[in-house]
Structure 1
């Protein structure tokens, strides 16, 4: 039992080729990582395997449609938990039958799955969603809780193959450990897209996706990284050798042409002394010119070949330069009180979110890590701090004129109906198009992406574009708020974000379950929710 991906090519509706000639096989029980830069098409390839999209060329053969744990950016918010799990119709049929409606359509929909409700509740409990009803709206769940809903579906369906797209996004430490344990012991074939290096090292093989296809590495992420390092070093050596040969060939071409010119001048002088006639002089000159052209052509061909190889080698080398967003520094003096929370709580219905009301003060220059398990109310607290929610208990006071930027989990600063260039221009209408294009190019948005609709961007690309937008904004924020910023981005983008936040000279409030990232950006204070 295998998934066979055979010579797949995928083109966007605008005819832009995302990737071509992708072929690989996954056997039952095999644990495989799918890696590649943001925008390389990893999530699209997952959707092709689950038949949500059709390939432009090639075919995918699998015995059953695999179970998928997708990235989520709010696209499931209109569903209930049962709807997200795909069991809403079965539950409706089950309850209709229990209430005496013996319609054939209900029995057909239920398909003898009489224990579906108990099975689903048990699966939710297994992933820590104790007490969450199947009728509960998805939009009221935290990011981590939404991920757990889809993880619970594995128990419900017991699939032979599972596709996981950034499964540790939003998950708290306890849930990550549970997921790692499941992946290690599962009998199913698993294909994982992730930037979580701990998770990637649990997988026995790695496929790297690029526009030209996939490359197979017979080991985990650390093995892949070592092989890539060796390959890059070999490319660098070839590039340096080519550049030396190219420099030498150009020097030889100059020397040959100079010798030829000197030879022609000497020959002309000697012919004049010998009294050679004009016709003969013209013949000698034509022969000399043809000889020079032949010599020039030989060296030009060699230089052209070497130059072409050098360009290709440079393209093959990864772009290792680190981009960094340079936000303006806040004009506030260090230590100014910005936000004071006194006995703050928030209630959804009658029950307060936090067992003890919150008390904290945020001062200018603070670098704060907001901690808490999934469902502890981290995003709710950020909405209280930004003023989009009002506390149901206590008070939360902001300094007058306080400004902030908020990079949320779903990149709500990005408008999907705009092109990449239009989106950037939205944040600073005073910049000329050529200035905007220069910024986009610097942040690895090539010319081919400038007119692409933002709806086609990957999560990591949306993160990078959000940072670009915030950078060109004329306003220097007093507080920079980021909610799970390392979700959905590749490792290069993580380095960019880390450098950006590390050097930001202002007040920082970050929600993250990535403890290594938190240490790197020097978030040395904590607000912990229980």
Structure 2
């Protein structure tokens, strides 16, 4: 069992990240922890794992948890065995087997005579056969590093496991192994992930926000359906408030007009009746005070409704608050953009593809490029873009306007401010206020305009990229997305999905995220 009581965390600069977090995770439960970027998901996992202390509150676990962090660079200088926490055990075992049976070696081994076999079995399970546990951890690829830590679950056999974005660098085959583990294990799981296929394998969704933890008793699809119901109810409330505001303003206008007519009629009667001037002034002041009081009452009512509307708008999901104005490609559907014939490319004497590639890419097509890590997906993109030439075969390219959006959104210039980045794409000479209106549509308020792009999160860079494309005079004919969901939370994946689904042009996607590919209607694949 895992128990949190009134847990809070504040950054060293005293900025509060979250507060009053209380929850109980029972044995064998499988929990998804989700929330927007910056809500504190990874921080909460670190607190649960004991690698970070909360600012206040109590954390209790029945047994020591095993933690697979998202960022693994801190282990690069040591060995794989050190990263797994088994280096001393393995070295002690080897010393003992070599005849050096000392008390120190026996103590380090701690009677774990099967450690070497368990490591070999765990590595084989994660398709890491042949790795030397004493080689440097930093020599591994991102996917291999993640799989090493996942293999640690089989080595250490914990009862509680925390996983922070475990599928981020995994190819399709490795994701299937991960999904199988999640489905079959009896371990207690708490997983931070934006991989919605993975999230659908879990029992419950815990949503973390500044307001605390909210529990949804079902998998991700159940959670999404509940959020949709909440969103529709919120939108309905907002529509009702808008109607009430219009009605209140109409009543205010009619009441003031009616009162002004009554006041004018009264003044005319009083003047005809020959009432003394001093009395007329008294009556006029009284009428003006009455009108002012009535205006104040109506203004308070209009102001209260406006305030309620503002609060409701703040609660709307960003996908509902964003205003998309994505342009479309001007190419006719079916125009041949790329023709590849028996194409291959190699680094050194080794060719990437056992069978040379032949394919066509046509305007309006939505195509996924699939293959395991290291199969040459990014190389193929560079060939399509004309950055490199094939070593065998030929590739013909039509003149098209293309945009390559990699997972780091490197088209965003970190030396520019948000406004300057948007201005860079201003090919139709929009005025400054027009650019700022468009930035607002993509949720970049005034506070962001002078902010350096280098400080933006992955989701913010993605939205700025979409905004920049919308500011340009013409949408690209070809958009290439290279692992676009790796650094995004679910909210920003939904924003990207909505934008791509509005786009009418050619789409080429490298992604292991099958849920995302389905959402953006990619039905064709080129498998390497």
The TM-score range, normalised by the shorter chain, is 0.7 to 0.9
| Partner of residue 28, structure 2 | 29
CA contact (8 A) 1:39 1:458 kept: no
Whole-angstrom CA distance in 2 between matches of 1:94 and 1:469: 59
Of residues 98-107 and 478-487 in structure 1, the stretch that sits farther from structure 2 once superposed is 98-107
Of residues 203-212 and 449-458 in structure 1, the stretch that sits farther from structure 2 once superposed is 449-458
Q: CA deviation at 1:225?
A: 2.6
Change (3 A) 1:153 1:402: farther
Unaligned runs of at least 5 residues, structure 2: none
| SS of equivalent residue, structure 1 residue 208 | strand
User: Could you give the per-residue CA deviations for residues 165-220 of structure 1, whole angstroms, max 9, x where no partner exists?
Assistant: 23333444444343333223322221122333333233222211223222122222
| SS of equivalent residue, structure 1 residue 6 | strand
Whole-angstrom CA distance in 1 between matches of 2:28 and 2:443: 37
| SS of equivalent residue, structure 1 residue 195 | coil
Whole-angstrom CA distance in 2 between matches of 1:218 and 1:445: 34
User: Could you give the per-residue CA deviations for residues 110-139 of structure 1, whole angstroms, max 9, x where no partner exists?
Assistant: 555443333222111112222233245556
Kindly indicate whether residue 418 of structure 2 is the aligned counterpart of residue 421 of structure 1: yes
CA contact (8 A) 2:500 2:520 kept: yes
CA contact (8 A) 2:418 2:453 kept: no
Change (3 A) 1:164 1:448: farther
| Partner of residue 211, structure 1 | 210
Change (3 A) 1:180 1:397: closer
Change (3 A) 1:115 1:4: same
Pairwise CA RMSD of aligned residues? 4.5
Whole-angstrom CA distance in 2 between matches of 1:327 and 1:387: 25
Q: CA deviation at 1:483?
A: 2.8
| Partner of residue 262, structure 2 | 263
| Partner of residue 4, structure 2 | 4
User: Could you give the per-residue CA deviations for residues 454-483 of structure 1, whole angstroms, max 9, x where no partner exists?
Assistant: 777555445445555777799997865433
Whole-angstrom CA distance in 1 between matches of 2:219 and 2:29: 12
Superposition pairs of residues 98-247 of structure 1, within 5 angstroms = 110-136=109-135, 141-247=140-246
CA contact (8 A) 1:423 1:469 kept: no
| SS of equivalent residue, structure 2 residue 189 | strand
User: Could you give the per-residue CA deviations for residues 243-276 of structure 1, whole angstroms, max 9, x where no partner exists?
Assistant: 3333333222223322322222222222222222
Counterpart among 353, 356, 359 of residue 357 in structure 2: 359
Whole-angstrom CA distance in 2 between matches of 1:26 and 1:317: 29
Count matched residues: 523
Q: CA deviation at 1:288?
A: 1.9
User: Could you give the per-residue CA deviations for residues 400-440 of structure 1, whole angstroms, max 9, x where no partner exists?
Assistant: 9999654444556678x868738947966999986775554
Q: CA deviation at 1:29?
A: 1.5
Change (3 A) 1:41 1:338: farther
Unaligned runs of at least 5 residues, structure 1: none
Of residues 259-268 and 166-175 in structure 1, the stretch that sits farther from structure 2 once superposed is 166-175
| SS of equivalent residue, structure 1 residue 236 | helix
Q: CA deviation at 1:69?
A: 2.6
CA contact (8 A) 2:426 2:471 kept: no
Q: CA deviation at 1:515?
A: 3.9
Of residues 299-308 and 2-11 in structure 1, the stretch that sits farther from structure 2 once superposed is 2-11
Whole-angstrom CA distance in 1 between matches of 2:398 and 2:233: 58
Change (3 A) 1:423 1:339: farther
Whole-angstrom CA distance in 2 between matches of 1:414 and 1:85: 37
User: Could you give the per-residue CA deviations for residues 498-521 of structure 1, whole angstroms, max 9, x where no partner exists?
Assistant: 455566677654322334544565
Q: CA deviation at 1:527?
A: 3.6
CA contact (8 A) 1:427 1:473 kept: no
Change (3 A) 1:327 1:484: farther
Q: CA deviation at 1:338?
A: 6.9
| Partner of residue 345, structure 2 | 344
Change (3 A) 1:351 1:500: same
User: Could you give the per-residue CA deviations for residues 52-84 of structure 1, whole angstroms, max 9, x where no partner exists?
Assistant: 444455454445553223335977666654344
| Partner of residue 252, structure 1 | 251
| Partner of residue 313, structure 2 | 314
| SS of equivalent residue, structure 1 residue 162 | strand
Whole-angstrom CA distance in 1 between matches of 2:86 and 2:212: 36
Change (3 A) 1:281 1:78: same
Change (3 A) 1:247 1:286: same
